[in-house]
Each structure stands twice: as structure tokens, then as C-alpha cells.
Structure 1
Amino acid sequence: MITCDFTIIPIGNGTSCKNYVTAAVQAIKDSGLNYQLTGMGTQIEAENLEELYSAIANAQEAIFEMGVDRAYTVIKIDDRRDMKNRTLDAKVDSVNKKLK
């Protein structure tokens, strides 16, 4: 399982981003991949890099289709192959179990 945290920042069209975030997240939702929206980015799970990159590319294109001329995208990927089904929730659960 590949997990990813990414943020797309539209540049040049004011300070509010909620409409752009909505368009990008809708593209991720349409991909069918499991995702979690956070206050600072979006996390997604994918079986392979092709579907991951395709989903992010579609999210970025959704931003450009709204009239943005520039977007800055930050992508963090955890491609762990020594464990099966290492989902976003499993990662959080493993840390929560160690908290006192």
C-alpha cells in the first residue's frame, strides 16, 4: 500500500483556497481512491504509483481548469513494501497504541 500526503497551492488568485481545495478533493474522490482531507492537505492510499500520480495530476488539472495560471504542489509518498495493507488508519493506530 502506498500512502501519500499532498497539497496543491494555487498562486495568484487571492487568499481563499476553499473552492480550489473542493475541486481538487472532488477529483480525488472521483478517482475512487481512499482519501482523508485534513486541515493542511489531503492524504490518499493507492496500490501503485501510476494510480497515485494520475489522481494527483487530475486534482492539479481541476485547479487549472478554474483559471489558475500557477500551482505549487508538494507531494510526500510512503511506499512501504515490507508490510501488507499499511493504510493511513493503520499507521495512526500503531502510534495511538503506544501513547499513554
Structure 2
Amino acid sequence: MITADLCIIPMGIEESSVGKYVAKAAQIIEKSGLNYQITAMGTQIETEDLKKLYEVCGEVQESIFEMGVPRVYTVLKIDDRRDIENRTLDEKVKSVKNRM
């Protein structure tokens, strides 16, 4: 299972709130069918297909430009672990909590 953390930062906008951009990103990810979780600092995504991940992240970035943003800073972190099956976002969190 591939897990990723996507953070899109619109730059050159007048307001400090980015909620409408996060909502647009979430709509695109939702439409893609990928499992995701919005967090306070980014959006976590699960997939079995790296190409699909890149495709969706590219769509998200382009959609922010289409909203009139002149510059978009994107951070994408990917954890592609292949030695354990079904390593979902929830399973990763459970693993840490079990150790606490």
C-alpha cells in the first residue's frame, strides 16, 4: 500500500484562509475514488497505484491554478512500503498507538 501526504500551498493570494482550496482538492481526490483523510496540515492519501497518485496530485495542483492563484507550492511525501500488505493509514496509526 502506498500512503502519501499532499500539501498544496496557494501563494500570492490576499486572504490567509485556504479552506476553499483544500475543499477543491478534496473534491478532486474524492472523485478519483482514492481513500483519503484531511488533516490540519495536509491531506493523506492511500493507493495501490503510484501513477494514479501522481495523476490525482497533478489534477489538484492544476485546479488551484484554475482558481486564479498565480503560484502554487506543492509538497508530496510518499511512503511506498512493499514488505507488509494492507499497510493503510489507519493501520499505521494503530501500530503507533499500540506502542504507547
TM-score higher than 0.5: yes
Q: For residue 69 of structure 1, what is the aligned residue in structure 2?
A: 70
Q: For residue 33 of structure 1, what is the aligned residue in structure 2?
A: 34
Instruction: Output the amino acid matched with 1:9.
Output: I
Q: For residue 93 of structure 1, what is the aligned residue in structure 2?
A: 94
Instruction: Output the amino acid matched with 1:64.
Output: F
Pairwise CA distance, 1:69: 1.5
Equivalent-residue separation in structure 2 for 1:34 and 1:54 (angstroms): 15
1:13-69 per-residue CA deviation (whole Å, 9 max, x = no partner) reads 122211111111111111100000000100000112101111111111111110111
Q: For residue 82 of structure 2, what is the aligned residue in structure 1?
A: 81
Structure 1 outlier segments of 4+, above 4 Å: none
Equivalent-residue separation in structure 2 for 1:79 and 1:39 (angstroms): 23
TM-score (normalised: structure 2): 0.95
Structure 1: segments with no counterpart, 5+ residues: none
Q: CA RMSD in A?
A: 0.7
Equivalent-residue separation in structure 1 for 2:10 and 2:95 (angstroms): 34
Instruction: Output the amino acid matched with 1:94.
Output: S
TM-score (normalised: structure 1): 0.95
How many corresponding residue pairs? Answer: 99
Instruction: Output the amino acid matched with 1:7.
Output: C
